[in-house]
Amino acid sequence: MNDDFITPLLAWFSQEAADLPWRNTRDPYRIWLSEIMLQQTQVSTVIPYYERFLETYPTVHDLAAASQDELLKQWEGLGYYSRARNLHTAAKQIVSEYNGQLPTNADELQHLKGIGRYTAGAIASIAFGEAVPVLDGNVIRVFTRLFDIADDVRQQTTQKRLWQIAEELIKAVPEGRAGDYNQALMELGRTICKPQNPLCERCPIAEHCLALKNNVQNERPIKTKKPPTPHYDVTCGLIWNEDGQLLITKRRDDALLGGLWEFPGGKIEEGETLEACLARELREELGIKVEVGTLYMRVKHAYTHFKITLHAFNCHLMANSPPPSCHDCQAFQWVSVSELSDYAFSRADRYIIEDLQNRQYRLL
DNA sequence: AATGCGGGGTA
DNA sequence: TACCCAGCATT
C-alpha cells in the first residue's frame, strides 16, 4: 500500500485545519463527547449541541450526576438517543470504577458503553497520541478513491479489508501525529473528497489518487442500494383534562426514541380506522378509555427505516375510565402546554408542541 | 452476519 | 427524492 500521501496530507491539515470547538482542548472528556455526538452526525449539526452540553456538564462528574430526563432534554433533536443513554452509563462507570479518568488506550476504551472500534481509535489517537487507526464514512470514501477500490463497501469483507489498510497506513505516520493524521483523513473527506462532485482540483493528495487517475472518482465508493422504506399511519392522543393539562408518556429505553416523552398512541393495524386505532392503543398502553374527538393536525416525518404520517386527535378520558397506568411505558405525567418544553420529545411531536404553544400564545 | 437506530443537510 | 453523515449495540 502506497503511503506517500501521508506527508502532504499532514502538511495540508497543519495549514488548513478548521477551528472546531473540540480542537481547542486536550481534555479526554471533551474529545470523547465530541466523538459520540459526531457519530452519524454532521459537524455543523453537532457544534451548538456540543457547546451547550459542556456548559451544562463541564466535567464527567457533572454528566454522571445528571438525570436521564435532563440529559435527553440536552440531546433532544440530535437523534440516535441510545448515544445519550450510553454516554450516561459510561460516565457513571468512569466515575465509580475509573476514578473519574477515561482509559488512555483504545483497547480499554472499547469496554465502555457506546465506544466501538472507530470511537476508541479516535479518542486514543487524538487525546492520547496512540498510533491506532480510525475508519468512518469519510475515511472509507477517501481510501476507496485513493486506492481505487471497487468492492461494495457495505460488505463485511470489504470493511475488513479497509480496516487492514487503515492499520497498515497508521504505521507509516510520524511518531505523535496519529491524531492529526486521523483527523486530516476525515476532514479531507468532509471538505474536499465529498460524496458527490469531489473538489479534486483543490485536493492536496490528488496526484496520489488512483480513482482520479482512472477518472472514476464519482463512482467511488460503490454501495448496494437500500430497499425503499415503508410508510405507516400512526395516531396519537392529545388527552386533555379539566385543568387544560395534557397526558404524556415516557417511552421505554429499549424502544425507538427510547427515554423520550411522547403523546401516547401507536401504529394503525390492517382495516382499522384512525379513531379505533387510537382508542385501542390508549387502552393497551395506559389502560384508559377515551372519547376520541377532532383531528388536531397531521405531521409527516421520515425516520431511517420508514416514514410516518402522525395523526393527532383531541381526546378526553371517559367518565367511567380507569385512571392511567403504565403498561408499555416508563412513566406518565399531566402537564400544561407551556410545561411541554421541559420534556424531551421527538421531532414529530415537537411539531405538534410548537403548534399548541403558538395557538396558546396567540390567545393571550 | 444482519438489523435497528434520528434528524438535518445536500444535490 | 435519495443519499449522506467522525457508528454502535443487539440478536
For the segment A86-133, what is each residue's pLDDT rounded down to a tens digit?
Answer: 999 999 999 999 999 999 999 999 999 999 999 999 999 999 999 999
**Residue A293 forms part of a structural domain:** yes
CA of A262, C1' of C1: distance in angstroms: 28
Residues A213, A96 share a domain: yes
* A118 in contact with nucleic chain C (CB within 7 A): yes
pLDDT band at A360 (very low <50, low <70, confident <90, very high): confident
Q: Is residue A354 part of a domain?
A: yes
Looking at the fold, whether A29 and A126 belong to one and the same domain comes out as yes
Report yes or no on A224 lying in a domain: no
Q: Are the C-beta atoms of residues A219 and A198 closer than 8 Å to each other?
A: no
Helix (H) or strand (E) holding A247: strand A246-250
Q: Distance (Å, rounded) from C-alpha A22 to C-alpha A14?
A: 16
pLDDT of residue A364: 67
Lookup: nucleotide whose C1' is closest to A45 CA: B8
CB atoms within 10 A of CB A71: 22
Question: How does pLDDT run across A187-242, given as a tens digit for each residue?
Answer: 999 999 999 999 999 999 999 999 999 999 999 999 988 888 899 999 999 999 99
Cα gap A286→A237, rounded to integer Å:
12
Amino acid at A327: H
Query: What's A156's DSSP letter?
Result: H
Q: In the listed set A199, A219, A239, which residue is the last one of a domain according to the structure?
A: A219
Same domain, A32 and A137: yes
For residue range A269-314, what is the model confidence (pLDDT) as tens digits? 999 999 999 999 999 999 999 999 999 999 999 998 899 999 999 9
d(CA A236, CA A257): 15
In b/e form, how buried is each residue of A141-150, taking b as 16+ CB within 10 angstroms?
bbbbbbbbbe
Hey, is A107 helix, strand or coil? helix
User: Is it the case that residue A361 has pLDDT exceeding 80?
Assistant: no
Residue with cell 463527547: A33
Is residue A1 included in any domain, yes or no?
no
CATH number at residue A15: 1.10.340.30
Across chain A, mean pLDDT equals 96
Residue A249 domain flag = yes
Say if residue A268's pLDDT is above 80.
yes
Residue A225 pLDDT: 85
A45 and A184 together in one domain: yes
Count structural domains, chain A.
2
Active site amino acids of A: 35
**Are A55 and A188 within one domain?**
yes
Burial class of residue A324, CB neighbours in 10 A (0-12, 13-18, 19+)? buried
- Strand pairing class (A261-262; A246-250): antiparallel
Distance CA A149, CA A199 (A): 19
Q: Is residue A303's beta carbon less than 7 angstroms from any atom in nucleic acid strand B?
A: yes
Distance A260 CA to B5 C1' (A): 14
- Answer yes or no: do A169 and A240 share one domain: no
Is A347 within 8 Å of A301 (Cβ atoms)? yes
- Do both A180 and A236 map to the same domain? no
Claim to verify: residue A242 and residue A197 sit in the same structural domain? no
Is residue A133 domain-shared with residue A72, that is, in the same domain? Answer: yes
Strand partners, A310: A234, A299
Using the C1' atom of nucleotide B7, identify the protein residue whose alpha carbon is closest: A79
Of A292, A291, A312, A290, which Cα lies nearest the Cα of A300?
A312
In percent, the amount of chain A with pLDDT more than 90 equals 95
Cβ atoms of A197 and A218 within 8 Å: the answer is: yes
Between residue 139 and residue 158 of chain A, the positions with Cβ below 7 Å from nucleic chain B are: 156
User: Which residue range is the domain that position A338 belongs to?
Assistant: 231-363
Q: Is A96 in a helix, a strand, or coil?
A: helix
Last residue of a domain, one of A197, A219, A241: A219
Cβ neighbours, 10 Å, residue A43: 18
Is A76:A68 a contact under the CB 8 Å cutoff? no
